[in-house]
Structure 1
Amino acid sequence: MENALEINGLYKHYDGFALQDVSFMLPRGVVMGFIGENGAGKTTTIKAVLNLIRRDAGAIKVLGLDNIAEERAVKERIGVVLEDGCFLNTLTARHVDVLMGKAYQSWQSEQFFRFMERFGIDRNKKIKDYSKGMRMKVSIAAALSHGAELLIMDEPTSGLDPVVRDEVLDLFYDFMQEDSHAILLSSHITSDLDKIADHITFIHQGRVLLSEPRDELLDTFGVLRCTAEQLSALEPSAMRAKRIGAFGCEALVRRDSVPANWPVEAANIEQIMLFLTRGEEQR
């Protein structure tokens, strides 16, 4: 079975920013959390996958298909939710239903309106009259209502309260009951990724710093709080990044490379991201 998404050597240059040799693979049956600080390149990568921007170099395959040469076939088989919305503000949910029915051969009106009812959304209101969270829910409902095999999500739970976020994650769980499905989930809400992600890909300043199964990542790394003397005694290969302050030192360390009696705490996804973003990375 082919991967749901393959990105190889992706480059895109703008004034003051560039994607540089972005490469990773998303297998079917996997939820990938795509993380990084604002401006790191997450949205630019997603737009390149969707062929919304022209890349400078590289190759992208979606569900085994070239994303440019076979763009129409690709878009029939993916569901997309973008942070800035997918639909014009003057439309109603009824208009969305009509447009999506024309765009997708497999569009399921009944399922779409079941989601509208489940989310408590008035189908007759214009999208401009919805809250940001409600607009996001319309996009999620549309993405899940045409038999997509791959969901590509850019901050889909942004603006949603914790109760609704949990409900949306349940929808993603349901979607992933089919082994051939996959999700690329770009999010700054790392607690959501702690709940649902199988794999983490971290991008920083246009470069992918890591792309690993979540459990392996959390098993590998821990947080060491120590003195400067202890830090200097560690082998450089034991540290991935460090932060030195007035009240002590912290380091993101490989747990199996630190003396057994040293106090290494379990690291979560947010801590790993902060160390690699704000700490001094070891080379």
Structure 2
Amino acid sequence: MNELLSVRGLTKRYPGFTLDSVSFSVAPGRIMGLIGKNGAGKSTTLKAILNLIPTDGGSVTLLDQDVRERELTCKAQVGVVFGGLDYYPLKRLSAITRATRRFYSQWDQDRYETCLHRFGLEEEKPFKALSNGMKVKYLLALALSHHARLLLLDEPTSGLDPVSRDEILHLFTRIVSDGSCSILFSTHITSDLDRCAHDITYLHNGQVLASAPKDAFQRAFDQLRTPEEQEPLTLEEIMLRTERRDWDETAL
């Protein structure tokens, strides 16, 4: 199997915005960064992959199974970590975990306890007592404890301090290192992806502008470099120059 996740022609129409025939794939053991400015369609794409919103066209397959036809089976293989996601703030982690694990037949209590120890989490703490970085680690502990093959991350490092971000990014790299799990990582903090992503998909006004391994992706935007620039542009510069050029053309 060459693709863990395959998105083909995904389309969703809203008044004033269309996610237009989005296609890309995520291979096993890879981290794919999903980039684009706010409003480009990143969160809509993730929600459509999870079948949380009705779509107007396209297909999503996970482990060669159609997500809409085999939703429960597929979702058992997915872990979701959305930045800013809050459970009941006064509930202890132990209570949240007891409610969560009922949904997963492959729940691994030993692995969960190992994650708690590794991440420095205390089950008797209420969710609201966790820092933003610890909340992300707790969500990752839940995702990893049912042996998720795909992690969908929507802005998971937004608002984290530099030390917490560094820990989380290092953790992402370790998670995919054995090739059994992949990560689709939506963010506008492109420096995070410079450090950990293998592949990049760029959403621009609801369409895929480019999707490729990171080195090839950067080379695809060589036309944006000035004659004095010899090195490939960073992901941040690619986004800035693409969006600036689009704004300039619109203004003209």
TM-score higher than 0.5:
yes
Cα distance in 2 for partners of 1:25, 1:221 equals 20
Give the AA of the match of 2:23: S
Number of the residue aligned with 2:7: 7
Q: Secondary structure at the match of 2:102?
A: helix
- How far off is 1:96 after superposition? 2.2
Q: Describe how 1:41-80 pairs up with structure 2 within 5 A.
A: 41-80=41-80
**Between Structure 1 and Structure 2, whose CA radius of gyration is higher?**
1
Aligned length: 247
Unaligned runs of 5+ in 2: none
Instruction: Tell me how far apart the structure 1 counterparts of residues 86 and 109 of structure 2 sit (CA, whole Å).
Output: 17
Pick the aligned partner of 1:272 from 227, 238, 246: 238
Counterpart of 1:85, as a letter, is L
| Runs of 4+ residues over 4 Å off in structure 1 | none
Kindly provide the CA deviation profile for residues 250-281 of structure 1, in whole angstroms up to 9, marking residues without a partner as x. Answer: xx14xxxx8xxx41242101111111222248
CA distance in structure 2 between the partners assigned to 1:14 and 1:84 by the alignment:
24
Contact 2:133 2:165 in 1 (8 A): no
| Higher relative contact order (Cα pairs below 8 Å, separated by 6+ residues) | 2
8 Å CA contact 2:41–2:206 kept in 1: the answer is yes
Quick one: distance in 2 between partners of 1:137 and 1:49? Answer: 23
Q: What is the CA-CA distance between 1:220 and the residue it aligns to?
A: 4.3
Separation of aligned partners in 2, 1:24 and 1:120: 36
* 1:28 CA displacement: 1.6
Deviation at 1:86, TM superposition (A): 6.2
User: Following TM superposition, by how much is the alpha carbon of 1:178 offset from its aligned partner in structure 2, in angstroms?
Assistant: 2.1
RMSD over aligned Cα, in angstroms? 2.1
Letter in 1 for 2:235: I
Query: 1:72: how far off?
Result: 0.8
Aligned match of 1:208 = 208
Alpha-carbon distance between aligned partners in 2 of 1:213 and 1:204, rounded to the nearest angstrom:
18
Decide whether the 8 Å contact of 1:8 with 1:22 is kept in 2.
yes
Q: Which has the larger strand fraction?
A: 1
Question: Is the deviation greater in 136-145 or in 17-26?
Answer: 136-145
SS of the equivalent of 1:203 reads strand
Give the TM-score taking structure 2 as reference length: 0.89
What pairs with 1:23-34 in structure 2 (closer than 5 Å)? 23-34=23-34
Unpaired segments ≥5 residues, structure 1? 223-238, 240-251
111-120 or 171-180: bigger deviation: 111-120
Indicate the residue corresponding to 1:157 in structure 2. Answer: 157
Aligned to 1:136: 136
TM-score using structure 1 length? 0.80
SS at structure 2 position matched to 1:106: coil
Q: Is the 8 A contact 2:33 2:186 kept in 1?
A: yes
In 2, Cα distance between the equivalents of 1:30 and 1:109? 26
CA 1:97–1:44 in 2, change beyond 3 Å: closer, same or farther?
same
Describe the superposition over 1:43-64 as per-residue Cα deviations: whole angstroms up to 9, x where unpaired. Answer: 0000000111111111111121
CA positional deviation for 1:2: 4.2
Contact 1:97/1:109 (8 A) holds in 2: no
Contact 1:190–1:269 under 8 Å retained in 2:
yes
C-alpha contact (below 8 Å) 1:13/1:56 kept by paired residues:
yes
State the AA in 1 paired with 2:229: V
Which stretch has the larger CA shift, 160-169 or 16-25? 160-169
What SS class does the counterpart of residue 264 from structure 1 fall into? coil
Q: Distance in 1 between matches of 2:119 and 2:243?
A: 36
